[in-house]
A and B are shown apart, each in its own frame.
Chain A
Amino acid sequence: MGRHRRPLFIVGFLIAPVTLYVVFVISPYLQAFQIALTNWRGISANPEYIGFENFARLVDDEVFWEAVRHHGVLLLALPLLTISIALVFAFLLNLGGGVRGGVMSGIWGSKFYRVVFFFPQVLAVAVVGVLFQAIYRPDDSGVLNGALIRLGLEPVGWLTEPSLAFWSILAVMVWQAVGFYVVLFSAGMAAIPGDVFEAAALDGAGRFRLFFSVTLPLLWDTLQVGWVYLGIAAFDGFALVQVLSVDRGGPENATTVLPLEIWKTAFSYTKFGYASAMGVALFFMTITFAALTLRVSRRERIEY
């Protein structure tokens, strides 16, 4: 019955995936920590160990801190904006119609909205970046400025104004993400038994009470998942900033993010040691965020 073939079978099934994974994923991750301690530059140069010098340089690197600051803002603003918008929409689409025939129902047209809101999610970030170059163009040939000019207003330098460029890019991130979280939260709301809402509605709870006192607490787990996802996304931003921003992270590093700096440092300036040190810094930020979220968001679960 093939009992003696068991070890052979196990090894046979694991050998290919594990080898591939160790060679292309595990080994590069481990090497990165090592390379971060060298002054490796250029393809042929001989790297030397320089201890923590790269990290010492990072501390004085203004562009690095600029990028870190952007991740900080993203970490707050991206989840906050995306989750609030998505939550309101998910509520309207699933429960906004009130009680009809004894069941909570969505608002009129909710099927259509659900499909449309998800559109941006299936598009590649790079494609979305190119798309928004046209939206944000500085003169009347841009979709936004064209509209402003028609309304008799001054055109805005969405991507060229250093104080505005970052927010313009953040807006695109929210634009793309909302649909996903509407679907995610809808799934969460669908899992809440209908009689909970009915009972609340029967007791005279209005839509606002239904939202804040019933839906939100029962959706806590799903919200937490959404927060973690968006938090992780806040440490990326590479494709969008690389494609959409002026001068890749500009103007004057006003939109740059760490992944972009890592990529530029490694493949444009061929400073491999320094780029890896940035990678290590990024890794510790991500891990810290994950650990903190797990601690903070632990809260009593409501059973139903």
Chain B
Amino acid sequence: MAVPSKRPRWSPFAALSHAALFVWALLVIIPLLWTFLASFKDNTEIFGDAWTLPGAIRWENWARAWETAHVGRYMLNSVLVVAVSTAGTMLLGSMAAYVLARYRFPGNRLIYYLFVSGMAFPVFLALVPLFFVVDQFGLLNTHTGLVLVYIAYSLPFTVFFLAAFFRTLPASVAEAAMMDGCSHTRTFFQIMLPMARPGLVSIAVFNVLGQWNQYLLPIVLLSGDREKWVITQGIADISTIAGYEADWPGLFAALSMAIFPMLVVYIVFQRQIQSGLTTGAVK
């Protein structure tokens, strides 16, 4: 006998469920929408009743945030740093993971566990010595320094995840390529990397988001040079210097600039981002 399909009927359970979901959706959307609206207000409106609409659409707030508050500069710095450091993380991480996953040699396990153990340590423990190590290399307040540190701290998880991924790829393809006279290096770049694409995409998304949102490392390693600041640092700073006389509409415009591109990127790459971020949990 076929199971009669339950028709979606009105019931207290359904009503309650919808209410709960709807309320949470509002809790998420209202703060974001409010910030967007506040970016068009002027100072008086911002210090007035929060639940009023802006009197006019003032795009000049956005222009001011971009130019005077240097949000454009910070954004560009973030793009630059994250582009280079994610590329570096992926290249170095996949190289190390590949060798550790597919080649047997003395010290293999040691190096692998050295990388993996990095996931268990809180970065705050390393903060003081890290500052001085970067200083000794003359890399304090430089993007190069920040990029190298981002790569180094992204390696544990990247290596851990990609090594597991490389282990699942069939050995026969690589062996066939080697038989045909392909060098180890070429086998890696032209055969194994393309095969590992799904894993690489997930972990790249994970690293891009993590490094873009990083706040601690920039404020420790870049604090001395405003020109080099990244977006998280810039936004947090605007909010601390913004007193009553300061440019509050500019702050909300800046905040909107930090929020909405991320939401657009997220909506476009939803699947990749959700799987990229939850990737570690699935193993």
Q: Per-position contact with B for A1-36: 1 when CB-CB < 8 Å, else 0?
A: 110011101101110111011011111110110010
Listed stretches B44-52, B166-174, B195-203; interface member: B44-52
Q: What are the residues of chain B within 8 A of A117 when measuring CB–CB?
A: 24-25, 28
Q: Per-position contact with A for B237-276: 1 when CB-CB < 8 Å, else 0?
A: 0110000000000011001001100110111001001100
Contact across chains for A140 and B127 when beta carbons are under 8 A apart: no
Contact across chains for B47 and A141 when beta carbons are under 8 A apart: yes
B235 interfacial contact with A, CB 8 Å: yes
CA distance in complex: A184, B216 (Å)? 26
| Nearest chain A CB to B116 CB, angstrom units | 11
Contact across chains for A141 and B46 when beta carbons are under 8 A apart: yes
A267 interfacial contact with B, CB 8 Å: yes
| Nearest chain B CB to A185 CB, angstrom units | 10
CA distance in complex: A266, B181 (Å)? 55
Of B34, B125, B209, B255, which one neighbours A280 at CB under 8 angstroms?
A: B125
Contact across chains for A121 and B277 when beta carbons are under 8 A apart: yes
A256 interfacial contact with B, CB 8 Å: no
CA distance in complex: A242, B17 (Å)? 36
Residues of B contacting A: mostly: helix
Q: Which 6 A-B pairs have the closest CB atoms?
A: A146-B50, A124-B213, A24-B152, A31-B129, A28-B129, A28-B126
What residues of chain B have their CB less than 8 Å away from a CB belonging to chain A? 3, 5-6, 8, 13-14, 17-18, 20-21, 24-25, 27-32, 34-35, 38, 46-51, 92-93, 95-96, 98-100, 103, 105, 111, 114-115, 118, 120-122, 124-131, 133-134, 148-149, 151-153, 155-156, 159, 178-179, 181, 183-185, 188, 209, 212-216, 220, 223, 231-233, 235-236, 238-239, 251-252, 255, 258-259, 262-263, 265-267, 270, 273-274, 277-278, 281-282
What residues of chain A have their CB less than 8 Å away from a CB belonging to chain B? 1-2, 5-7, 9-10, 12-14, 16-18, 20-21, 23-29, 31-32, 35, 85, 88-89, 92-93, 96-102, 107-109, 112-113, 115-127, 129-135, 137, 140-143, 145-147, 149-150, 175, 178-180, 183-184, 187, 198, 201-202, 207, 222, 225-226, 229, 235-236, 238-239, 242-243, 258-259, 262-263, 266-267, 272, 275-276, 279-280, 282-283, 286-287, 290
